Amino acid sequence: MDFSSNQQVLTVSGYVELSPVANSSLAGSGSSLVFQATNDGTIIEKIIIKCTQACAEGTIRLFIAHGSPFVYYLWKEINIPPTPQTATYKSFQLTLEEKVYLQTGDAIYASTQNAETWNVMAQGISWGNINTTSSTSLSASQGNFATGGSVTFFPSGGHIYEVHTFNTPGFFTFTLNNNLPNSNNVWYLIVGGGGGGGSLGGGGGGGVLDSKAYNQLVTVGAVNSIIVGSGGTGGFDGTSNPSKSNAILSSNGQDSSIIFNATAAVTFTAKGGGGGGNSNYSGLKITTGQDAGQDGGIGQPGGSGGGGGASYNYSNGSYTLSAGGATIAPPAQGYPGGAGGTGGTLGGGGGGAGAAGTAAGSNPGNGGNGVLSNIPGALVSGFGGGGGGAAIGNTGGVGGSPGGGGNGSAESTNTPGVHGINGTGGGGGGGYGAYTASGNGGSGIVIIAMQIS
């Protein structure tokens, strides 16, 4: 990075004296604030750790705190050798010279393994004063090397990553080519919107595309289009008798995609999850997609398939159990939904990005689990979980976890289906007929990350 001599550099510093209280937490609990970043962000360049007494063998831990409320990330564990302190021998001291990029409000915390008194000092400079663009501060969508989305800076494995997260459509532009450690390559994660829960079956999780490697080349100055899919809406069996004319089918989640370098040849798309099947008193038919014309009780296909419901036969008062939805391939981005169960009173679980939804048996089906991502800065616990199926009893099916899938409805307790979590592509939980509401699918997400130090 170019630290231009024609810009004023504002030096910042922080200090804490760690109380002599032993702390073995690896999660930041009980740690002490050393420094919190300024409004322009801060680059910490040096951290000095000094014991004020003779010290025993132990560990000093440093944490990066990010978000609101803070989530603590263990950054450094510094092993301390036993060190005396005398008139002629100084006690332990260590200086870490390693750049740490802190976004506005991020902080460094410290703790000591032993009940000893330590001084921890941080020194650095205000980020806005050394930004190489014409701006003197960083906006919410302005990183040091690219623009677009919500920008965070994530420490991991001794490196710093610039992470751009898109929860709504937008544009990603690589602005600087300043000898990045891995040239102009980026990671990406694309998750489609989750399918809406049916009036029995759970919605399928959004499809997940994870680059899994630092291998997508981007061009400086090129505008890359980002599309983030919305979650599908939940289905409803209708209340008007006998036609049930106000019934609606669940809908699939919308696709998410990245068009790299504004060229269709390098478009990556994660499919939206399939809508869950209805219990379908109304005899509705699916009108779009590869299952157009099929009975509305089946789970619809998608990135992961929706859970199955059932179809009602007015002539003999019986139900026909319906299959779960398939995945849309190639390439497969998830798993199929589970089939509906006995008597038209139990819905199948929606498929997830990591596992199939389970079929209903004596209990409603559970949503298939989603997946974790290895992309730096993907702080959400998982993506693409299927929604749980609904039940006439006390407990609906469980939504896929990790992955944000919603739990299914329980009619006897008047518990509605739960919406999939936005930003995960989780499928909505199934509702029960016209009695309890079904959940909508959660919206998708797009994340692009690059190593900057």
Question: Is the CB of residue 288 less than 8 Å from the CB of residue 232?
Answer: no
Structure tokens at 22: 């032993």
Predicted local confidence at residue 6, as pLDDT: 31
Higher-confidence residue of 29 and 174: namely: 29
Count of residues for the chain?
453
Structure tokens at 58: 């132990």
Query: pLDDT band at residue 442, thresholds of 50, 70 and 90?
Result: very high
Query: pLDDT band at residue 99, thresholds of 50, 70 and 90?
Result: low
Domains defined along the chain, listed by start? 11-129 (2.60.120), 139-453 (no CATH)
Task: Please enumerate in sequence order all residues whose Cβ is within 8 A of that of 151, keeping only pairs 6 or more positions apart, or say none.
Answer: 103, 138, 140, 141, 142, 143, 162, 163, 164, 165
Q: What are the Cα distances from residue 67, in Å, to 33, 264, 424?
A: 15, 35, 18
250: exposed, middle or buried (Cβ count in 10 Å: 0-12, 13-18, 19+) = buried
CB atoms inside a 10 Å sphere around CB 139: 9
Task: Please enumerate in sequence order all residues whose Cβ is within 8 A of that of 401, keeping only pairs 6 or more positions apart, or say none.
Answer: 369, 370, 381, 382, 385
Predicted local confidence at residue 5, as pLDDT: 30
Question: Is the CB of residue 254 less than 8 Å from the CB of residue 286?
Answer: no
Lowest mean pLDDT among 51-60, 185-194, 279-288: 279-288
The values of phi and psi at residue 147, to 5°, are -125, 155
Question: Is the CB of residue 94 less than 8 Å from the CB of residue 78?
Answer: yes
Which helix (H) or strand (E) is 315 found in, with range? none
Q: What is the pLDDT of residues 383-397, one digit of tens each?
A: 888 888 888 877 889
Query: pTM of this prediction?
Result: 0.68
Q: Is the pLDDT of residue 64 over 80?
A: yes
Question: Is the CB of residue 271 less than 8 Å from the CB of residue 328?
Answer: yes
| Cα Rg of the chain, angstroms | 26
Q: What is the pLDDT of residues 115-171, one digit of tens each?
A: 988 999 988 876 544 332 222 223 334 456 788 888 877 766 667 788 888 999 999
DSSP string, 41-61: -EEEEEEEEEESS-B-SEEEE
